[in-house]
Amino acid sequence: MRIVFSHGKESGPWGTKISRLAEEATNEGLAAESIDYRGLAHPGARVDRLRAHLERLDEPVVLAGSSMGGYVSSVVASERPVAGLFLLAPALFVGGDYEVRDHRPKAPAITVVHGWEDELIPWRHSVDFARENGATLHLLPDGHRLNANLDDLAVLFQLFLHGLERP
């Protein structure tokens, strides 16, 4: 099984959160990679890049995304089955270029983590998404970047990974 990370709009493929979560995945014996979306400002272009990347893989994947990367991961997971979906402060239900509103991820395990003090994406959007999709939801005392809770994120990711069905 492989974890495919998607970073946020103003981040990079190996930012602090993704690097920490990739370390947890590796400790669990899972391959981890992160797609570089820098230079692609439109979420639709990022969705296309993730689709193309997954076409080359022949093993089960878990999609993990932060902010715009959460949106991208959830859209692709609504188009094709994935082993799991882990979203951090996902940019869901924001309108504009984020045109997909009512998508249903094809994932047996979905976890969403959001900060109560998120200044960019209202935490209520994650509550709505979690409720509509039967996802596990964690709200943390943090802002959009969730950098004040890296240890908590690592533990939540471990719990998510332990709950996955492995081939």
Evaluate whether residue 59 is within a structural domain. yes
Overall pTM surpassing 0.85 (yes/no): yes
State which H helix or E strand residue 64 sits in. strand 61-66
Tally of domains in the chain: 1
DSSP letter at 80 equals S
DSSP letter at 66 equals E
Evaluate whether residue 53 is within a structural domain. yes
Evaluate whether residue 167 is within a structural domain. no
> d(Cα 61, Cα 111) in Å, to the nearest integer?
15
DSSP letter at 83 equals S
Q: Which domain holds residue 116?
A: 2-162
> Residue 32 maps to which CATH number?
3.40.50.1820
Token pair of 88 as six digits: 């951090």
Neighbouring C-beta atoms of residue 103, cutoff 10 Å: 17
In this structure, what is the dihedral angle of CA atoms 91, 97, 98, 101, given to the nearest 10 degrees?
140
Evaluate whether residue 157 is within a structural domain. yes
What is the greatest pairwise CA distance in the chain?
A: 39
Q: For residue 23, give the amino acid letter.
A: E
Evaluate whether residue 92 is within a structural domain. yes
Token pair of 135 as six digits: 């996802």
> d(Cα 61, Cα 114) in Å, to the nearest integer?
22
* Cβ atoms of residues 64 and 8 within 8 Å: no
Q: Over its length of 167 residues, how does the chain's per-residue pLDDT go in tens digits?
A: 999 999 999 999 999 999 999 999 999 999 999 999 999 999 999 999 999 999 999 999 999 999 999 999 999 999 999 999 999 999 998 888 887 666 799 999 999 999 999 999 999 999 999 999 999 999 999 999 999 999 999 999 999 999 998 87
Evaluate whether residue 18 is within a structural domain. yes
What is the tens place of the pLDDT at every residue in 20-61? 999 999 999 999 999 999 999 999 999 999 999 999 999 999
